[in-house]
Amino acid sequence: MDDSQPQFLEVGAAARRRRIAYRRRGGEGPALLWLSGFLSDMTSTKAAAVAEWAAAEDLAMMRFDYSGHGLSGGDLLDATIGDWLEESIAVWELMGEGPRIVIGSSMGGWIALLLSRHLARVRRSNELAGLVLIAPAFDMTEILMWRELPQVSKDEIARTGVTYVPSTYADPYPITKHLIEEARSHLLEGQPFDPVCPVRILQGMCDPDVPWRHSLALVDLLAGADVELTLIKEGDHRLSAPQDLKRLTATIATLARRAG
């Protein structure tokens, strides 16, 4: 099975039903699950690099687009963290049995943590062979968005339900009232938990979007003993330079060997 063509999965019910695009490659275990960042998709530089590396190593890999992103259906203005977590769980189930490693970039790091907490709550942590988190933006809607928004933007959200924030990467992006309020039921701050697997965090110290101290706070939040944080002095948010991609795949390879 190769991932040259996207496939589709229906997630949700009634008015919340949406069509999710994914690319799945067969191979050996442990299988890899890629979780993208906010406004990113499964064809991003890092996702594609990991997929190419996984193919060379003959490792199975799954990647997908959240609703409102890439090839998936749904409207970004209607989407929530809960939606994207639900989609991640559905894709996890589609992957079948066997140990799996989750790689989460930026917001995908938060979704990966929520997925691991879900697995712990349903007593299935044995399925999770490791987490690799790249600039993990846990609780980003509250800590990195809402708390940092100027009052004029907060007033606009209250009045219209949405505000648009300038981006250094693309066009201004929306922050909706629905996104902020629904996400408060998924916050991790102040609620330590053990993902019951090795956790490896890669964080650039020149990241303007997710400050390195945010990842340091995550280390304190995680109750598990096997947590390592790598700080890259000149690293930015994307960590997509050749040396960053090499470091990322080497990190995944180490966990894969342990799981194998």
Give me the active site residues, please.
Answer: 106, 207, 237
Nearest to 201 by CA among 247, 253, 133: 133
Q: Are the beta carbons of 135 and 237 closer than 8 angstroms?
A: yes
How far is Cα 173 from Cα 254, in angstroms, rounded to an integer? 36
Residue 231, both tokens: 């700080």
How far is Cα 242 from Cα 119, in angstroms, rounded to an integer? 33
Helix (H) or strand (E) holding 129: strand 128-134
Nearest to 130 by CA among 103, 93, 107: 103
Residue 184, both tokens: 């408060």
